Amino acid sequence: MIPDAFTELYGIIGHPVRHSLSPAMHNAAFRSAGLNAVYLAFDVEDLAGALEGARALGVKGMSVTIPHKEAVMAHLDEVDETARRIGAVNTVVNRDNRLFGLNTDAVGAVRALEEALPVTEKRIVVLGAGGSARAVVAGLVSAGASVHVANRTVEKARTLASSWGASWSGLDAEALKGVSGDVLVNTTSVGMGPKPDAIPVPPEFVGRFQVVMDIVYAPLKTMLLAVAEEHGAATVNGLRMLLHQAVAQFESWTGKEAPKKVMEEALTEAVGRRKAEGCK
């Protein structure tokens, strides 16, 4: 569909953001659904200016990523209760020029894990206590899981866990001695970037879990997931959460059922193109 005067505008705001895989997913979804809409990546440093610009231009919806997930809340007309408790917004919906903030990372994490097993009444250990961890913990607790938060800075683990009725500990071998469960979820950045061979916990700890999920998706198979496979655990890579949170975004913006299969295929193709480009 060729953009025209009736094309609705959506996008992702962050800094940096040109590497985002979201445009591939959402533009494929709009085409599949027959919607006259386009989704672009906006590298934003001036957050307040960007939000005012979005209002003025009638942008219908936005994804929000690092470093703006927390700061964006101050510029919105309303934030839903779950996003407020998490302390972060990753989705903005424009309703009659009023900007509403949501957090689809929480439901995205749950849906990704539930491809491997139901999370209700499962014992789940979450590594990390940052923004991603807050969303993951919120989603899991709301879905009926029993959650333990393990973080290098114990005070941060305690603060997050206390907010959601979870238990907590440090992240060193001694602190993890009595910790186990059904599922292990890594929300830290360990394993990505310049140190892809790094792992956030001792390898022997990974063997205590039936399912291991890593929200890192570059590389797609992190060292944590490789070790989990060696121990016979089922694994969930970071693209699954990325997909499911995007599906929830699409449905929040349009009120229509998202073409999940189309979005998944677009995501896979985008990852393949990026790998090919990286090999050149």
| Residues facing 14 on adjacent strands | 43
* Annotation marks residue 177 as catalytic: no
Instruction: Single out the catalytic residue among 60, 69, 156, 256.
Output: 69
SS3 readout for the chain = CCCCCCCEEEEEEECCCCCCCHHHHHHHHHHHHCCCEEEEEEECCCHHHHHHHHHHHCCCEEEECCCCCCHHHHHCCEECHHHHHHCCCCEEEEECCEEEEECCHHHHHHHHHCCCCCCCCCEEEEECCCHHHHHHHHHHHHCCCEEEEECCCHHHHHHHHHHCCCEEECCCCCCCCCCCCCEEEECCCCCCCCCCCCCCCCHHHHCCCCEEEECCCCCCCCHHHHHHHHCCCEEECHHHHHHHHHHHHHHHHHCCCCCHHHHHHHHHHHHHHHHHHHCC
Cβ 44 vs Cβ 16: under 8 Å: no
What amino acid positions are annotated as catalytic residues? 69
